[in-house]
Amino acid sequence: MEYNLELNTKSVNKLLTSLKAYQKSFSAKNMLFVERLAELGIPVIDSTMARTRGDANPRHDTEISISQIGNVAKGTLTLSGEDILFFEFGAGIYYNQSDPEHASKFGYGVGTYPGQTHAFNDDGWWYTDDAGIAHHSYGTEATSPMLRASHEMIVNIRKIAREVYAI
């Protein structure tokens, strides 16, 4: 906001009126800011899930939840699906020669799935599905859709703030 101010009662009152109007719009701007940031993550998640290699189930849902208490807005971007952790952190050594950096921070990574016996087999392994059909697997590549979504939000936080809070 650019404002030329003369030092008289009329111009100071005009400035105060403008500032009060901006203050009233602040809560709505906070909600919009959080929503715009969260929305940046959805296309990143979708494109990342679409290009992941492996045999985990890529079907997924994303949801944005936004709440506000006073002037504080909180947003949550949720990714859900049957095999989401496999996409985020990887399964099997074939696609994941090096552990994704963030996997170990959360106690995940190749060989950490409960009951696994073939995670480090470069030739993959066989498993039987619920219908009794045998499948060969090399695991699932860790493509980290949520980590990538968070990076997209971080990279754009200033840009979105300038757009939303511009006067």
Q: 3-state DSSP call for residue 65?
A: strand
pLDDT in tens, 56-113: 889 999 999 999 998 899 999 999 999 998 899 888 777 777 766 677 777 777 777 7
Which are the contacts of 156, defined by CB distance < 8 A and separation ≥ 6? 37, 40
Please tell me the predicted confidence (pLDDT) of residue 167. 62
pLDDT in tens, 21-52: 877 788 899 999 999 999 999 999 999 999 98
Amino acid identity at 26: F
φ, ψ for residue 53, nearest 5 deg: -95, 145
Distance between CA atoms of residues 42 and 47, nearest Å: 9
Rg (CA), the chain: 24
Distance between CA atoms of residues 85 and 143, nearest Å: 10
Distance between CA atoms of residues 116 and 140, nearest Å: 14
Distance between CA atoms of residues 73 and 34, nearest Å: 7
Kindly indicate the confidence band of residue 11, based on its pLDDT and cuts at 50, 70 and 90: confident
Per the prediction, the chain carries an average pLDDT of: 86
Burial of 86 (0-12, 13-18, 19+ CB in 10 A): buried
Q: Which of 89, 85, 70 is nearest to 28 (CA)?
A: 70
